[in-house]
Amino acid sequence: MKIAIGSDHRGFEAKERVKSLLTELGMEVIDHGARSRDSCDYPDLAILVARDVAEDRAQRGVLICGTGLGMSITANKVPGVRAALCHDELTAQFSRRHNDANVLCLAGDLVGDALIRRMVQVWLQTDFEGGRHARRLSKISDFEQHQRNGRPSGGAASG
């Protein structure tokens, strides 16, 4: 599996460790940076990773900033991306089972290395359950499609 990764300066060390883990697991990694602890802006990295996933250059993405918040807010602006900010193994697992999350966002400042390792592993190993969850995801992608076409969406159909 090909995985795009990115971080800002606050997520740099955690991103380097995630990169080693992914390589250990036999994944192909596209690393967009950061390359150091020098200050940078999380939207730049989030957009690169999210677009790799949305445009199928990578099957999944992992984004890390201090809290994970900026990365998740930005990545979810890219149509087709379902970025999940997770803080434990359970949310990582459910983000796959119920939400088919294709980007995992992590808080480099708040979550320890061992937990990040376990979260990444469970997130990669867990399949989407489909069924009623697929119906719900279709509502999200329908909404995105309508937004792109500049038409109103949501609620009961009229006319």
Q: Where does this chain bind ligand RB5 (CB under 6 A)? A: 8, 10, 42, 65-67, 69-70
Residue 76's Cβ-side half-sphere holds a number of Cα atoms within 13 Å equal to 15
CB contact at 8 A, 44 and 35: no
Q: How far is the CB of 67 from ligand RB5 (least distance, A)?
A: 4
Q: Under a CB-based contact definition with an 8 Å cutoff, are residues 7 and 63 in contact?
A: yes
Minimal distance, residue 71 CB to ligand RB5, in Å: 7
Shorter beta-carbon distance to ligand RB5: residue 10 or 96 = 10
Closer of 27 and 66 to ligand RB5 (Cβ): 66
Catalytically annotated residues: 65, 98
Of 8 and 52, nearer to ligand RB5 (C-beta) is 8
Q: Provide, rounded to whole angstroms, the least separation between the CB of residue 26 and ligand RB5.
A: 29
Three-class secondary structure of residue 17 per DSSP: helix
Structure tokens at 66: 């201090």
SS3 for 147?
A: helix
